[in-house]
Amino acid sequence: MIFLGILVSFAAQAEQRAQPGLPILFDARERLPKPDLSSLVRLRFLTTVDFPPFNFSDQSGKLSGFHVDLVREVCDELGVADKCQIQALPFEELQAALAASQGDAVIAGLAVTPELRQRFAFSRPYLELPARFVRNLHATLEGTTASALAGKPVGIVRNTAHEAMLAAFFPAIKPVPFDSKEALLAAVKEGKVDAIFADGLQLSFWVASPAAEKCCDLFDGPYLSPQFLGEGMTIMLRQQDADLTAAINHALATLSRNGRLQEIYLRYFPYGLY
């Protein structure tokens, strides 16, 4: 599996790099209540198998990934590990399955939208996906921050949130639009642009992959913006399940503060997103 090979490559590189920390999204002074779930018969999480490294089938066909490990930790923290189940469905079936009570929570990287908030409840974010620059290592840049890219050609995919974010955050940079992610990556690899600006998750894996041929590296950042990039990764639940939502928020906050969330993050992102 391509992803597993890249992950091994990341792990080897991570031994020689300082491990980046995972931003804590919960206020240390805030105490979230832990509702009693002793009457819960079972807790069913729904996910997919096509969103590595968050959720995927490993070489033996076993459901694996960041989200799968996070579910196990949440269930342990809530004392309901023996009642927890996790099931994979096609992405397009997740909302209907949750609404029909075929599961109790969805953890699959589903973006929070105003329309979904009218129908479902969401946990607090547990991970934000940043935007990042990637620079061509042969490009001449004077400095190690984004200001070194002022006036330089920087590629983006047209009509995306990252294009709008680049214009808002870095008006001095010269944007060069491309029609696809593939064209964007090819352009920076071939030196047609000095750098590119896009999703940090995809870029962090690409720079360490054989496809990049060691042409490039992450540059400055990360850059986070709820306005352009959304609220972050959350767990979606039914609106009537207020106690379960509160319990999951309690578990996520605890895992964030005690370092267990950081451990899972480094397991799947040894190169780092931040």
The pLDDT averaged over each successive group of 10 residues in the chain (274 residues) is 41 41 77 87 96 92 96 96 96 97 96 94 95 97 95 97 97 97 98 97 93 96 93 96 96 93 91 80
| Residue 20 pLDDT | 56
Kindly state the tokens that stand for 184: 């964007």
Side chain identity, residue 33 = P
264 exposure class (CB count in 10 Å sphere: 0-12, 13-18, 19+)? buried
Which of 113, 194, 102, 114 minimizes the C-alpha distance to 152? Answer: 194
| Residue 13 pLDDT | 40
| Residue 28 pLDDT | 74
| Residue 22 pLDDT | 79
Residue with tokens 């503060």: 257
Which domains, from first to last, does the chain contain?
A: 2-128+232-268 (3.40.190.10), 131-228 (3.40.190.10)
Instruction: Give the helix/strand (H/E) hosting 50.
Output: strand 50-51
Kindly state the tokens that stand for 193: 């642009």
For helices 66-78 and 260-268, angle between their N-to-C axes, nearest 10 degrees: 160
Contact 65, 3 (CB under 8 A): no
